[in-house]
Amino acid sequence: MKDRLEDRLKDPVKGRLKASAFVYPWDVIGDPDAAARIADLGVQQVTLASAYHSTRALTPRHPRHRIVTAEHAAVLYPPSPERWEERTLRPYAAGDWAPGDAFGEAAEALAAAGLDVHTWVVLAHNSRLGADHPDTSVVNAYGDRYPWAPCIAQPATRAYLIDLAAEAAVRPGARGTELESLGWYGLAHLHAHDKIAGVGLGDAEQYLMSLCFCPSCRDGYTEQGLDPDELAAAVRAALEPVWRGAPPEGGWPAIEKLLGADKAAATRAWRDGTARTLQEAAVSAVRAAAARSGADDFQVLLHADPVPYHCGANAGVDPAHILSVADGVVVPCTGGTGLLAPFAEHRGERGVLAANFTIVSGMGGSPATLASDAARAADSGATELRLYHAGLASDADLEEVRGALAVLG
């Protein structure tokens, strides 16, 4: 591996993968050494949260605190009163975990350390929105609401997400953005005190449990020639064996088997079209906002999964389509680099294919193997690296990252 890596590094295209580290504003604000410490890792960029979901985060080096609890999804800057006044759906301001223009303050410190700053914008993942406005949530075939998952088919929700993308992405000092969860969110969710692992669900069952039956989606299924009540009954019938102990199944053929090929295709037609048009509209809105601010070279990336029917933070997309819409994608690679190839096939000369590696060993990452992992990612078509997460990682993890990036040049 060492010889192969050294050969690879002789090629400046494959050898020098631009690296960006994910960061929260509270990792930087109040810690005068944070920005320089992140720059010293060898990264050229930071992906700094500007709109984020609720979380409980460790801050192992901060001089004032060790745990930050972001109690609800919020924007980490002052939202525009003109944009949001008199609208029912609007972004929530952060509490004392990120008061005022926390993003702007952190961005200024990071830029002063020589780092490019890109925004990190979480969109269709918002438990506070679902709690305050239950009708916005995904509703499964049993009638259960998923408050963490706004239904992206609903017109008001779509308008909210598009405007939020534009505002949260194009912040002063930012040179680009990464849009997370810009698509369907479903059952899978890191929830407080989670108790849903008693029955194992595969790819097929996750899809069925993530189909939405809110009024907008019921209308959408009707447009596809389906009776929504019959579809919901078919979903429940398809899931019944797994509740009784049948082994979970994976892949689209399993979904067709469980639901029927015609029904499965019709649900995909509705959901794929809904996600695509939202992604197109959000990217267009971000670019328009960037142009108005004078940032014509503003970069727009999506966190993405190349399996279109997958749900979650890495939205399922069609690689050819999304790379014709956005400037590139950020792809999860901690478990392997297999998801890169479908995007690499359609990337083109200027498209960005960023391989995202968890560098927090306590969260399943392997910073000790980052250099070899990055080399494999480059072989699979990656042009950049994303490192999750500079604020959460231990000193030992960061030292491994520093060494790996030095090897990678």
φ/ψ (deg, to 5) at 316: -65, 130
Extract the tokens encoding 300: 């727009």
Model pLDDT, residue 304:
98
Report yes or no: 185 and 125 within 8 Å, Cβ to Cβ.
Answer: yes
pLDDT tens-digit profile of 314-364?
Answer: 999 999 999 999 999 999 999 999 999 999 999 988 899 999 999 999 999
**Averaged pLDDT, 289-307:** 96
Report yes or no: 65 and 83 within 8 Å, Cβ to Cβ.
Answer: no
From CA 407, how far away is CA 90, in angstroms rounded? 45
pLDDT-wise least confident of 197-201, 238-242, 297-301, 319-323: 197-201
From CA 19, how far away is CA 265, in angstroms rounded? 39
40: helix, coil or strand? coil
From CA 73, how far away is CA 29, in angstroms rounded? 19
pLDDT band, residue 4 (cuts 50/70/90): very low
pLDDT tens-digit profile of 22-47?
Answer: 999 999 999 999 999 999 999 999 99
Burial class (CB in 10 A: 0-12, 13-18, 19+), 11: exposed
Extract the tokens encoding 169: 């992405």
**Which percentage of the chain shows pLDDT scores above 90?**
90
Extract the tokens encoding 170: 């194009």
Answer whether residue 7 shows pLDDT above 60.
Answer: no
pLDDT-wise least confident of 167-181, 188-202, 236-250, 271-285: 188-202
Model pLDDT, residue 188:
85
pLDDT: which is higher, 190 or 370: 370
Model pLDDT, residue 13:
38
pLDDT band, residue 5 (cuts 50/70/90): very low
Report yes or no: 323 and 315 within 8 Å, Cβ to Cβ.
Answer: no
pLDDT tens-digit profile of 153-212?
Answer: 999 999 999 999 999 999 999 999 999 999 999 998 776 666 666 678 899 999 999 999
pTM, entire model:
0.95
pLDDT band, residue 133 (cuts 50/70/90): very high
Model pLDDT, residue 409:
80
**Averaged pLDDT, 136-156:** 98
pLDDT band, residue 283 (cuts 50/70/90): very high
pLDDT tens-digit profile of 49-93?
Answer: 999 999 999 999 999 999 999 999 999 999 999 999 999 999 999
pLDDT: which is higher, 192 or 12: 192
Model pLDDT, residue 193:
62
Cis peptide before 389 (omega within 30 of 0): yes
**Averaged pLDDT, 271-297:** 97
Answer whether residue 231 shows pLDDT above 60.
Answer: yes
**Averaged pLDDT, 304-309:** 97
**Averaged pLDDT, 367-395:** 97
From CA 51, how far away is CA 370, in angstroms rounded? 28
Superfamily of domain 2-198+277-408: Glycosidases (3.20.20.80)
From CA 217, how far away is CA 3, in angstroms rounded? 54
pLDDT tens-digit profile of 91-116?
Answer: 999 999 999 999 999 999 999 999 99
